[in-house]
Amino acid sequence: MGSTPSADQPVTVVTGANSGIGRATSIHLAGTGHHVVGTVRSLDKAEKLNAMATDAGVEVDLVVADVADDESVATGFDEIMKRTGRIDHLINNAGVGGNAVVEECPSDLYMDVMNVNLCGATRCIQSVLPQMRERGSGTIVNITSVAGRIAALAQSPYVASKWALEGLSEGLAQELAPFGIRVAIVEPGVTKSAIFAKNIDAPNSSDAYETHYRRMFQFYAAGMANATDPFEVGQVIEHAITTDTPKLRYPVSWGGEQMAERHDRISDADWLELGAIEDDTEYIERFRQIFDIDITT
């Protein structure tokens, strides 16, 4: 159990704190004076987080909460409230990947990814809102993805979940505006994270979509060669919850800003034409022209 926050110390919960963006954000915010509570599925898997926090000279309080499970979230957030008395900021970071084209994606994969990426965030939001509304303040930051703006190739379940979280967040921002609660959407591109090492499935069960999976991995191979340090995302999150001139969306990391910014300028014709290109070299060049991103590896 961690220390008790002081009266003027912001209490910030970061879900999925044991790796990647969640770990970096937890350590960064702790270093800027937040009392950080990180949720993890197992305390046994938080060794690296604890070691990095110690090296940084900060403390991250840990609570077990599996965002995929109603009871686990309820129990975990009850424990957080007992320890801290309030939650000022919620960072919904916990998430999973999911590769498949629509034809080859079983319904249970859609459900599993949605349960974590969309419903997991919703469970946590519902856990913090009553006390935020009562105080008339608070911030909810939902980590989506550039794939929440652009339908990333051969990642249908992941894209569907992140688009859904974007829509939920946009509606939530209006719902909570009368209560003084801020909502921010952070849209990372490719960051240094274990999620990419784990996300290597390419079903291709029909043998019809080899090109699609190859081009998806081509994009991430280029991204990983230029991946952004996750602490940069942590800095953007800090800005989103402290700025006096808040925005709804914050694209960040390799590929994030370019693709998010250009999304609204891509015509339907250009999008379909990109998908129809057969030659990989021509595809890479057209991708560069549209998004100003070089995915050559």
In this prediction, residues 267-295 reach a mean pLDDT of: 95
Report the CATH number at residue 80: 3.40.50.720
Domain that holds residue 162: 11-203+228-266
Please give the tally of structural domains in the chain: 1
Q: Confirm whether 68 is domain-assigned.
A: yes
> With 80 as the cut, is the pLDDT of residue 200 above it?
no
> With 80 as the cut, is the pLDDT of residue 2 above it?
no
Q: Confirm whether 195 is domain-assigned.
A: yes
> With 90 as the cut, is the pLDDT of residue 76 above it?
yes
Contacts of 12 (CB under 8 A, 6+ apart): 29, 34, 35, 36, 37, 87, 88, 89, 90, 91, 241
Of 158, 213, 220, 283, catalytic = 158
Instruction: Give the separation between CA 57 and CA 60, rounded to whole angstroms.
Output: 10
Question: In the structure, what pLDDT confidence band is assigned to residue 198 with cuts at 50, 70 and 90?
Answer: low
Task: Determine the distance from the C-alpha atom of residue 180 to the mean position of all C-alpha atoms in its chain, rounded to a whole number.
Answer: 23
Length of the chain in residues, anyone? 297
Q: Are 123 and 67 in contact (CB under 8 A)?
A: yes
Q: Confirm whether 280 is domain-assigned.
A: no
Q: Confirm whether 219 is domain-assigned.
A: no
Examine the residue annotation and report whether 220 is marked as an active-site residue of this protein.
Answer: no
Q: Are 253 and 144 in contact (CB under 8 A)?
A: no
Tens digit of each residue's pLDDT (9 = 90 or more) over 131-187: 999 999 999 999 999 999 999 999 999 999 999 999 999 999 999 999 999 999 999
> With 90 as the cut, is the pLDDT of residue 117 above it?
yes
pLDDT of amino acid 290: 94
Q: Confirm whether 152 is domain-assigned.
A: yes
Q: Confirm whether 237 is domain-assigned.
A: yes
Instruction: Give the separation between CA 68 and CA 54, rounded to whole angstroms.
Output: 29
Q: Confirm whether 233 is domain-assigned.
A: yes
Q: Confirm whether 175 is domain-assigned.
A: yes
